[in-house]
Structure 1
Amino acid sequence: MSTADKNLSVFSIDDLPNISNKKFALVVAEWNSEITEKLYEGAYQTLIAYGASPDLLVRGNVPGSFELSVAAHWFAQRADIDAVIALGVVIQGETKHNDYINHAVAQGITNASIANNKPIIFGVLTPNTMEQAVDRAGGVHGNKGDEAAMTAIKMVGLKDKVLA
């Protein structure tokens, strides 16, 4: 289902793990900060609402979405970090830069997650317009930050079950 037909802030909360002792890193792109700050706020508030300790949430800023991959990798290398949430937005412009950036970030985050054996969540919006970004950062389609945080919570729980 496309996000045009779904609210990103509605998800199943069945069997969520206890995350009170889990440490999450939130890596936030500064480019398009009017959107990324809303994504961060959604992710932060969702983590808190479902039991994360504010003292165990770490934030790192990067200039743009392209830099999310390496920063997420650095955080994932830390033994005290249980999951990383990468938050950014790449809006289609007049050129194909978004195709290259989006692909590179998705691949980079995937590679970093596998290399570090740790969940790194892709919380990057890839809209065609600023209006679509606003709609997905707390607007009519909810907040991708909420969804990214819930994904991190569920993946931390799954990892604990699978590797226990």
Structure 2
Amino acid sequence: MSSSLKNLSDFSHLQVKSAKGIKFAIVVAQWNADITGALLAGAVDGLLKHGSTEEDIQVIEVPGSYELISGADIALRNKQFDAVICLGCVIQGETRHFDFICDAVANGIANVSIKHNKPVIFGVLTTDNMQQALDRAGGKHGNKGEEAAITAIQMCHIAKSF
């Protein structure tokens, strides 16, 4: 089904386990703050809805999406977090800057997860325009921040099962 016809953040088919007792860091980019603020609200709401407490969630603001990489690394060096949720938004412009940033952020976040052997969740919108970002930050396609929170919960339970 085309994403234009669907809420991408529909979790009704999943039984999401409890987030109780899991420590989360949410690293959020300040760039495109209208979008990242909505993603952050979705992530926090998703964690709280599934049993987390405000005390178990720490928000770390970084300047832009590229800095999500070092923000996640700094958070995990602290050793108190079970998972990190990275939230950002990169919107296509007139130059190839978009391609370089998106590639670096995706690879960097994956590398931090591997380095620390902890879930580091990619909640970064990479859209062609502002409307697509709005649609995925609480608009008609749901909220990618909430999706990232659910993913973090699921990955923590997978990690704890081993």
Q: Which position in structure 1 is the counterpart of 2:131?
A: 131
- 1:88 is paired with a residue whose SS is strand
- 1:72 is paired with a residue whose SS is helix
User: 2:38–2:137: 8 Å Cα contact kept in structure 1?
Assistant: yes
Q: Which position in structure 2 is the counterpart of 1:42?
A: 42
Aligned AA (1:62):
V
Normalising by structure 2, what TM-score? 0.95
Structure 1's consecutive aligned runs of 4 or more residues displaced over 4 angstroms after TM superposition are: none
Shift of 1:19: 2.0
Residues 76-87 of structure 1 mapped to structure 2, 5 A cutoff: 76-87=76-87
Deviations 1:72-130, CA, capped at 9 Å, x for gaps? 11112222100000000000001011100000000000000000000000000000000
Residues 55-134 of structure 1 mapped to structure 2, 5 A cutoff: 55-134=55-134
Aligned AA (1:98):
F
- 1:126 is paired with a residue whose SS is strand
Q: Which position in structure 1 is the counterpart of 2:31?
A: 31
The number of aligned residues is: 161
Distance 1:150 1:2, change over 3 A: farther
Distance (Å, rounded) in 2 between the aligned partners of 1:76 and 1:70? 10
Distance (Å, rounded) in 1 between the aligned partners of 2:111 and 2:137? 26
- 2:19 is paired with a residue whose SS is coil
Normalising by structure 1, what TM-score? 0.94
User: 1:76–1:113: 8 Å Cα contact kept in structure 2?
Assistant: no
Q: Which position in structure 2 is the counterpart of 1:155?
A: 155
Distance (Å, rounded) in 1 between the aligned partners of 2:72 and 2:48? 21
Distance (Å, rounded) in 2 between the aligned partners of 1:9 and 1:54? 22
Q: Which position in structure 2 is the counterpart of 1:141?
A: 141
Distance (Å, rounded) in 2 between the aligned partners of 1:8 and 1:75? 28
Shift of 1:43: 0.3
* Identical counterparts, % of pairs: 50
- 2:26 is paired with a residue whose SS is strand
Deviations 1:17-63, CA, capped at 9 Å, x for gaps? 33211110000100000000000000000000000011110000000
Gaps of 5+ in 1: none
